[in-house]
Amino acid sequence: MDTKLNFFVVLTLVSIQFLSTFPKAAVSNVHIVYMGEKENEDPTVTKMFHYKMLSDLLGSKEAAKSSMLYSYKHGFSGFAARLTDSQAKEIEAFPGVVQVIPNQVHKFHTTRSWDFMGLNDHSTTNLLTKSNMGEGIIIGVIDSGVWPESESFNDRGMNPIPPHWKGICQEGQLFNSSNCNKKLIGARWFVKGILDQSQTPINISNGEDILSARDSSGHGTHTASIAAGNFVVNANYEGLAAGLARGGAPRAHLAVYKVCWSFGHGGCTDVDLLKAFDKAIQDGVDILSVSIGISIPLFSYADQRNSIAIGSFHATAKGITVACSAGNDGPTAMTVENTAPWIITVAATTIDRAFPTAITLGNNLTLWGQSVDTRMHNHGFTGITFSDRIALNNSDDSALGCKRGSLNATLAAGQIILCFSQSSTQNIFSAAISVAEAGGVGLIFAQYRSDGLESCHYIPCIKVDYEVGTQILSYIRKTRSPIAKLGIPKTIIGKWVSPKVADFSGRGPSSISPTVLKPDIAAPGVDIIAAYIPFGAEKSSGFALLSGTSMSCPHIAGITALIKSVHKNWSPAAIRSALVTTASQKGTDGSNIAEEGSTRKVADPFDMGGGVVNPNRAIDPGLIYDIETNDYVKFLCGTGFSSKSVSGLTQTKANCTKNRLNELNLNLPSITIPYLKRKVTVSRKVTNVGPVESMYKAVVEAPQGVNMKVEPQILRFNKTTQIVPFKVTFFTTGKVYGDYRFGRLIWRDPKHTVTIPISMRAIFV
């Protein structure tokens, strides 16, 4: 990201309310009168101006002095005062006042995604505390490096470096061994591949990248802090999403492997990726988080260009759990990436936090969009126009979406511009540049419903959907001199139904191995606040809001660290099974989780795998679907690879003529049948990890048009029997070709519900 980030200090006030002793008197509550950027650098002058404004409202200096709590005069201009509702409305119309915000009682909370999933650090019963916050576990992050000075990587409260760590803190430009500590225990960088690819040296003098593990893009810093960042109080992004920041496993250790570079055309090459996997295995990491992917069409698992599949296979064979992002090319089908069956592939969802922003029109109608731009816009009511009305060239429709160079600067100057995106390739950031270059002072960007907010930096901008955009356009067309006022974003929690699968999240089925359900699991990945590299002369507070499956992947890595801390001997497949079989398919309101794609339908396994991760249930799944390394070898043979190809991938002497596994029978915590011809029987086996003496009954939710039969229907476990096989037979009842249909197979005992998703498509020959 090459844009400049500014971060403001936002003071949270303790709500104070004074009730009048006279029953008819108006009640005064604390309000924040926000005035945006300071007009005077002298804080004394700014404070006097605040008192003068309040005196004019209340009628005397004494009343103003009694009413005011704080004068904000350093980071921004404004004050907090006790006002009645009518006084608040009156002062909002004063010149220079951007917005009057009623005070609210705030409490410290996580940067939301972890509390949203039930991992509150104050609880004594959830996975976070049961696992000692991931103590003793090492998470490796293969990404763009790290900003070691970030407060998220402080080592307060950290235990000594685990004895199984064998790695180093590799020195380089602006990075030495002292940058590592008990939290950030290792750092390496791999650049040979990208240097060879670009055929040009890095120009370190102009800062296009840094020849060390130091992060120059912010992506790696963000993902690492999501997975295992330490506690940071008062974290925020421009005053939004304020709270206590921490990673999923705040007591786990971090090792970073820089393979992604910004110079030239940028990217992460296969040779560098493979070297990172190789070193991570050698160093002794327990978990790897890889928010990197390759685009469609995918390479086979035995192709050296699929370095993530190859590297992760070797890591998995050594007992290292690998979590990867599902890709950001959704909501189109077959866009999921990182589809190897030994990888945990992670989709992205929303959480219950939003940043609503008011748009007040001249007819007193207030409409709502979303924004993360808290910068000043102290112009109050300002002229607003539709971009198509101020097109530089009326012969095309480029002005409709505010493409660069499409607006008439004379007509745009001083105006708020309403633009309509016409495709997914147009974005609010590029439109803001266009409006700013034309002299506009604000942007309202109407687009199809999509997830993730982006700061415009240059001018305040608000994203709205087409419905709100059309309402604003109707007002503009009906009014001779339309005006509008843009509000300041607010942070609101718990008011929206959530989670929803993000529109950008890569969707299944897998284009390269359709019998393997991908993604496996979903986790928060929209507007996630986490550590970031500092930008600008003012040096930001070091946090940013980003969206993508890059953000959901380290959530799973962090949760995996917590599970691994409790169940040290569980295999990567066992951990994946625990996550998938205990996942949730319900939202906060009890309804089925939806997806924010073009149809906004109920989410299915191709959108979210088993569902949205439920960490506190995953610690005690009851049963697990385990897989050994040799099972993957047999699976590869069964999918048609030659002995030579499989041997090259697995570095074993594979004999595919003798050792083949029907690809439908790989012991995944899911069943996917892309071609159901009348009747198919699938084998699975489960391992009991609950009470020794246990009994589970099968509950079948068959896909539409399919009959299912489970044998046996009851699974019994005791001291001598802890692994039990079963078979599921599917019979199609339809007589026409159909698309995929979905169902579930559930094993239940009095305490556990062990659920696997089923996906199948019937064909007739």
Contact between 293 and 325 under an 8 Å Cβ cutoff? The reply is yes
pLDDT at 233 over 90: no
- Cα–Cα distances (Å) from 428 to 321, 406, 434, in that order, read 37, 15, 10
On the question of a common fold for 26-100 and 111-350+497-617, the answer reads: no
pLDDT at 736 over 60: no
pLDDT at 378 over 70: no
Mean pLDDT of 184-209: 79
List the one residue out of 556, 559, 607, 618 whose CA is nearest residue 583.
Answer: 618
pLDDT value, residue 375? 66
Q: How many CB atoms lie within 10 A of CB 362?
A: 16
The predicted-structure confidence for 70-107, as pLDDT tens digits, reads as follows: 565 543 456 767 889 888 888 888 887 866 765 443 22
Point out the residues that are catalytic: 143, 219, 550
The strand pair at 442-446 and 416-420 is best described as parallel
CA distance 527 to 457: 16
Domain 26-100: homologous superfamily in CATH: Peptidase S8 propeptide/proteinase inhibitor I9 (3.30.70.80)
DSSP code, position 49:
H
User: Among 54-58, 607-611, 685-689, which stretch is predicted with the lowest mean pLDDT?
Assistant: 54-58
End-to-end CA distance of the chain: 52
Contact between 290 and 346 under an 8 Å Cβ cutoff? The reply is no
The predicted-structure confidence for 502-534, as pLDDT tens digits, reads as follows: 989 999 999 889 999 999 999 999 988 899 998
pLDDT value, residue 509? 94
Q: Which residues contact 478 (CB under 8 A, 6 or more apart)?
A: none
Mean pLDDT of 305-326: 89
Domain 111-350+497-617: homologous superfamily in CATH: Peptidase S8/S53 domain (3.40.50.200)
The predicted-structure confidence for 154-189, as pLDDT tens digits, reads as follows: 999 999 999 999 999 999 999 999 999 999 999 999
Distance of CA 615 to the CA centre of its chain: 16
pLDDT at 391 over 50: yes
Fold of 621-626+666-760: Immunoglobulin-like (2.60.40)
The strand pair at 267-268 and 260-261 is best described as antiparallel
The predicted-structure confidence for 317-336, as pLDDT tens digits, reads as follows: 999 999 999 999 888 899 99
- The more confident residue out of 18 and 634 is 634
pLDDT at 628 over 90: yes
Identify the residue whose tokens are 């009730």. Answer: 19
Q: How many CA atoms lie within 13 A of 660 on its CB side?
A: 13
Contact between 155 and 274 under an 8 Å Cβ cutoff? The reply is no
728 band by pLDDT with thresholds 50, 70 and 90: very high
CA distance 709 to 720: 27
205 band by pLDDT with thresholds 50, 70 and 90: low
Query: What pTM was computed for the model?
Result: 0.79
* 183 φψ region: left (φ > 0), alpha (ψ -120 to 50), beta (else): alpha
Average pLDDT of the chain? 84
User: Among 280-284, 545-549, 601-605, 716-720, which stretch is predicted with the lowest mean pLDDT?
Assistant: 545-549
List the one residue out of 715, 652, 690 whose CA is nearest residue 317.
Answer: 652
Structure tokens at 634: 């047999």
| Helices vs. strands in the chain: H and E counts, helices first | 18, 38
pLDDT value, residue 693? 95
Question: Where do the domains of the chain lie?
Answer: 26-100, 111-350+497-617, 355-489, 621-626+666-760
pLDDT value, residue 4? 32
pLDDT at 301 over 90: no
CA distance 47 to 33: 13
pLDDT at 490 over 70: yes
Identify the residue whose tokens are 């100057």. Answer: 413
214 band by pLDDT with thresholds 50, 70 and 90: very high
pLDDT at 124 over 60: no
Q: Nearest 5°: CA angle at 321, between 644 and 283?
A: 85
- Map residue 576 onto helix, strand or coil: helix
Structure tokens at 163: 């004895």
pLDDT at 20 over 60: no
Residues 355-489, CATH architecture: 3-Layer(bba) Sandwich (3.50)
pLDDT at 285 over 80: yes
The predicted-structure confidence for 542-569, as pLDDT tens digits, reads as follows: 888 888 999 999 999 999 999 999 999 9
pLDDT value, residue 672? 96
Distance of CA 542 to the CA centre of its chain: 18
Contact between 734 and 680 under an 8 Å Cβ cutoff? The reply is no
CA distance 111 to 725: 43
DSSP code, position 160:
P
Identify the residue whose tokens are 């060879």. Answer: 196
Residue 87's H or E segment, with its range, is helix 85-92
CA distance 638 to 642: 9
